[in-house]
Amino acid sequence: MLIKQLSIFLENKKGRFTEVAKILGEAGVNMSAFTVAENSDFGILRLIVSDTEKAISVLREKLYAVSVADVVCLHCPNQPGALAKAMDIITSAGIFIEYMYAFSQGDAANVIIRPDDINKCAEVLKANKLELIAASDLYKL
């Protein structure tokens, strides 16, 4: 249930993200989800793609600093209180969240979570009957 997420270090310069999008596009790699964390002089682009290995190889070829991290994707109803319930379970288990981002589609919402202890996080969510999306499914979204 673990998903490979790419992180790309980008300087805060005009056109950097555009270039990454182009490189992936030309390689036929699709982006399922992404988020950018930034500070004053650099940003970190985190993204989940259809073909992780291929994305890494084309980006590294262009000298980008790419790292890979495991994340989980929680699938929950797109309604008030649903996220609070899931968060409560994670927090009660003593798991710390490094960062997270989300997107919703109609009745459903997908929350990508990077916890400090990913295996434990996946376990407690499953034990509490919460649905985790498999990588292959997420790429299809």
Cα distances from 89 to residues 64, 116, 121, in angstroms, run 37, 15, 9
Least gap, CB of 53 to other proteins (angstroms): 16
Cα distances from 139 to residues 109, 110, 111, 118, 123, in angstroms, run 15, 12, 14, 20, 22
Q: Considering the complex, state which of residue 64 and residue 139 has its C-beta at the smaller distance from other proteins.
A: 64
Q: Tell me the torsion sign for CA atoms 132, 102, 71, 62.
A: positive
Stretch 78-97 residues interacting with other proteins (CB under 8 A): none
How many residues form the binding site for other proteins (CB under 8 A)? 21
Residue 69 binds other proteins, judged by CB under 8 A? yes
Burial grade of 110 (CB within 10 A; 0-12, 13-18, 19 or more): buried
Residue 57 binds other proteins, judged by CB under 8 A? no
> Quick one: which of 28, 53, 61, 65 contacts other proteins (CB under 8 A)?
65
Residue 63 binds other proteins, judged by CB under 8 A? yes
How big is the CA angle at 33 (ends 96 and 38), to the nearest 5 degrees? 65
Q: What is the DSSP letter of 80?
A: T
> Quick one: which of 7, 50, 78, 128 contacts other proteins (CB under 8 A)?
7
Region near other proteins per CB under 8 A, out of 5-13, 26-34, 104-112, 122-130:
5-13
Binding-site ranges for other proteins (CB under 8 A): 5, 7, 9-11, 37-39, 41-42, 44, 46, 63-67, 69, 98-99, 114
